[in-house]
Amino acid sequence: MKIYPKCLKGKESFVSFDGHWLPCCWLPNFGVIYEDSIFGKPEFDLSKNNIEEVVKNALFREFITILLESPENAPYACKKHCGQDSGTTSNHLHKKIRYG
Ligand code: SF4
């Protein structure tokens, strides 16, 4: 499997109810409580960091590295929404996404 992260191709990012930045709105879904992920950490708290600091922090760099280099370790939401077994890097948002 490969992941072609839409968050690196212009998909809008997301801010949680308590002010934490996430690369997209899909991540907090699928039963994963974002507070238990890296995005619940203080490095992603927009009351403590500006957006440039957030996207440059080491945790986010590691997250991107996992998406691109070891996608088997990526969150389920990323595999589900941005994963492809093969093919192009074209945006497949137009395709119906199956849940379950
Ligand atoms: S699901 Fe994952 S890879 Fe896809 S846009 Fe969201 S954070 Fe990026």
Which tokens sit at 42?
Answer: 């203080």
Span 74-97, mean pLDDT? 67
Q: What is the CA radius of gyration of the chain?
A: 13
Span 51-78, mean pLDDT? 95
Specify the pTM.
0.80
Q: Which of 2, 11, 61 to mutate to test ligand 1, by most ligand atoms within 8 A of the CB atom?
A: 11
Q: Is the pLDDT of residue 42 over 80?
A: yes
Verify whether ligand 1 is closer than 6 Å to residue 81 (CB atom): yes
Please indicate, yes or no, if residue 26 is contained in any of the structural domains. yes
Please indicate, yes or no, if residue 89 is contained in any of the structural domains. no
DSSP states along 5-48: -GGGTT---EE-TTSBEES-SSTT-TT--GGGSGGGSGGGBTTT
- What b/e readout covers 82-93, taking b as 16+ CB neighbours within 10 angstroms? bbeeeeeeeeee
Span 44-54, mean pLDDT? 96
Structural domain including 27 reads: 2-84
Please indicate, yes or no, if residue 71 is contained in any of the structural domains. yes
Q: Is the pLDDT higher at 88 or at 35? A: 35
Q: Is the pLDDT of residue 30 over 70?
A: no
Verify whether ligand 1 is closer than 6 Å to residue 54 (CB atom): no
Q: Is the pLDDT higher at 37 or at 5? A: 5
Q: What pLDDT, in 10s, does the model give residues 7-24? A: 999 999 999 988 999 999
Number of domains in the chain: 1
Please indicate, yes or no, if residue 96 is contained in any of the structural domains. no
Q: Which atom of ligand 1 is nearest to the CA of 25?
A: 6
The whole-angstrom distance between residue 91's C-alpha and the CA centroid of its chain comes to 15
Determine the pLDDT at residue 35. Answer: 74
At 91, the pLDDT band (50, 70, 90 cuts) reads: very low
